[in-house]
Amino acid sequence: MTIASLKSRLPAFAKDVSLNLSSIGEDDSLTAQQKYGLMVACGHATRNPDVAQAMEAEAAPHLAPVALDAARAAATIMAMNNIYYRFLHLASNEEYKSMPARLRMNVIGKPGVDKVDFELWSLAVSAINGCGMCIDSHEKVLREHGVPASAVQTAVRFAAVIQSAAVALEAAAIQVQHAAE
């Protein structure tokens, strides 16, 4: 399954999602590795197997195996970090912020791809997962590396579009289930 096949499965009420999927597929404002890595990382962050599979299929011809694994790693490590750091941000008890996280995060230091690309993917996944602390942290690193605000915004736009595809597929499945009842 690719973006085209994913679009063909979207219901009529998700026409905007389909159009937005086309726009990210045609976007050339990022490097190929950044763009396709975003697709993979965000696809997995949606936790929707159909979306993840479509993003992987779309990206695989454009990414080296190490980059494909790094994008998967960004989704995976942020799944952990976003829970933990969102908790720290939301918890009223300040004591937790002084405790060591005791979470292994080696992949962030050595992701196997350019640090900027990994940070961009991590930022997008953090947006999907709703972790403000992680968003701020990754955005700061990106800006320190000279990444323009437009690239940051593009990464978050990719995240929003890919997440909306997952929601549309789930809503369509429920619609079909209700029609069958």
Residues tagged active-site: 131, 134
Phi, psi torsion values for 177, nearest 5 degrees: -65, -45
C-alpha count within 13 angstroms, C-beta hemisphere, residue 18: 13
Largest CA distance in the chain: 55
Q: What is the CA radius of gyration of the chain?
A: 17
Question: Helices (DSSP H) in the chain: which residue ranges?
Answer: 3-8, 15-26, 32-45, 49-59, 65-90, 106-109, 115-129, 132-144, 149-180
Beta-carbon contacts of 29 under 8 Å, excluding residues fewer than 6 positions away, are 150, 151, 154
| Angle, helix 149-180 to helix 32-45, in steps of 10 degrees | 40
Q: Are 64 and 95 in contact (CB under 8 A)?
A: no
- Among 4, 5, 9, 47, which Cα is nearest to 26's? 4
